[in-house]
Amino acid sequence: MRMPRYKRVSAACLTMALVFAAAVGLAAAAAARAGAGDAGAGGGSAAAPPAEDKGGFWPQFHGPGRDNMSTETGLLAQWPEGGPPLAWTFADAGRGYAGVSVAGGRIYTSGDFGADEYVIALDLQGRLLWKTANGPSWRGSTPGARATPTHVDGTLYHMGPMGRLAAFEARTGKELWAVDTAQVFGARPGTWGLAENVLVEDNLVLCAPGGDRGRIVALDRATGRTAWANTTIPDGVAYGSPIVVTHGGVRQFITLLRATVVGVDVRTGRLLWSHPHPNRYNQNVDRPVVHAGRVFVASGHKAGARVIEISPASDAAREVWFSEAFDNCHGGVLLLGGHLYGCGCRLYSKGLMCVEFATGRTVYRVEGIGKPSLTWAEGRFYGIDQEGRAMLIRADPNGAEVASEFRIPMEGKDQSLAHPVVCGGRLYLRQDRNVFAYDIRAKAE
């Protein structure tokens, strides 16, 4: 396959890029993951993978540590013409944009079937194991399931778009408990419903329903009972998903709300700090990226990106830099070796961007790559854009190029917005009702 080539950065940029320590291989993966967050950073207490889990382990949105970086190895460095082999397609996932989680030899997602939203379990061959309802589906703007189920110790946790948060037995789909966050906490779905991928930390399920009786809340993960509910935060709910980190000895829940980024004490629910992050349409979607006491957030439509620094005592935050150019909307941003990789909004700063985490300086923008949602594995980025163009991308501070690409079969008019997942030697992609599993393992010589 002919490889599209794009303009390389200038000599000055190249000189500065030499600080980038990552190279293709396991050493690079280890260094990149170490730089993805503070000590103790992660997505909560997702269970360790079984000793022999042939399906891989990706138990929640953006993986075990919520850094969106896979530990998979032995993958194809370039795909065949027309793309890697299609292992299977599951064509009855319901309407939606939810991604997949993988644990215990099973695959989980969610989808809308008429008036109801369902959580779905598949085996590794793409066969339906069970399907359990989780409240009403979203019938407003851009209908379809939003959230990926979170798997911890044999239990799934899932927030529906109208605010029904429920726990299910992962083996059978049996509902264990459910809380209507609209009724209990006053959650009010925005223009595009609720879209949070909930997080589990020890014995707590953490989420941000954004209601006046609970802006951010913690529920006992065994019973669904309220452990605490923060009602002092003045800001309402957006569409982002949180991360939990330890900073200054304090374990804190960090997320984007409607117009602010906030940090909350996981033990008590007390607001530790907040910083403005306004945007035109209350469209804060992406997960924060945290490293060395600094928090990166971005939003589309020229809302831009900023890095803020948390004080040593975790009682304040100051802005380090702001860039209108890096207006990543909902495709995700990854941090590798001191550089951020993501895409500008479709209306303004188009294309894949490389930005210095420390300064906000744009190293380059490659418009030809477009606006894919991203993940990372074995030294390469995997992307899929809204029109179903799947890409294997080689990118570092020196430049970026598409190594291989193909198009998934698109059904109907709904865009492909689910983030790709690399797990168990497979690339999982979603478009509307279809979940695709591609075999991306390198074959033995």
| Predicted local distance difference test score (pLDDT) of residue 273 | 98
Q: What is the rounded radius of gyration, in angstroms, for the C-alpha atoms of the chain?
A: 20
**432 vs 19, residue with greater confidence:** 432
Q: Of 296, 355, 332, 391, which Cα lies nearest the Cα of 9?
A: 355
Q: Please determine, for residue 255, whether its predicted confidence score (pLDDT) is greater than 70.
A: yes
pLDDT digits (tens, 9 = 90+) for 316-349: 999 999 999 899 988 999 999 999 999 988 666 6
Q: Which amino acid is at 373?
A: S
Alpha-carbon distance of 29 to 279, in angstroms, equals: 34
Any residues with CB less than 8 A from the CB of 154 and at least 6 apart, and which?
Answer: 47, 104, 169, 170, 171
Alpha-carbon distance of 437 to 216, in angstroms, equals: 35
pLDDT band at 443 (very low <50, low <70, confident <90, very high): confident
Mean pLDDT for the stretch of residues 87-97:
97
Q: Of 437, 427, 436, 419, which Cα lies nearest the Cα of 98?
A: 419
pLDDT band at 46 (very low <50, low <70, confident <90, very high): low
What is the CATH number assigned to the segment(s) 11-439? 2.130.10.10
State the CB neighbour count (10 A cutoff) for residue 218. 24
Percent of the chain at pLDDT > 90 equals 79
Q: Of 373, 434, 402, 410, which Cα lies nearest the Cα of 79?
A: 402
Collapsed DSSP state (helix, strand, coil) of residue 235: coil
Alpha-carbon distance of 78 to 204, in angstroms, equals: 42
State the CB neighbour count (10 A cutoff) for residue 231. 15
pLDDT digits (tens, 9 = 90+) for 279-295: 877 788 999 999 999 99
pLDDT digits (tens, 9 = 90+) for 256-286: 999 999 999 999 999 999 999 998 777 889 9
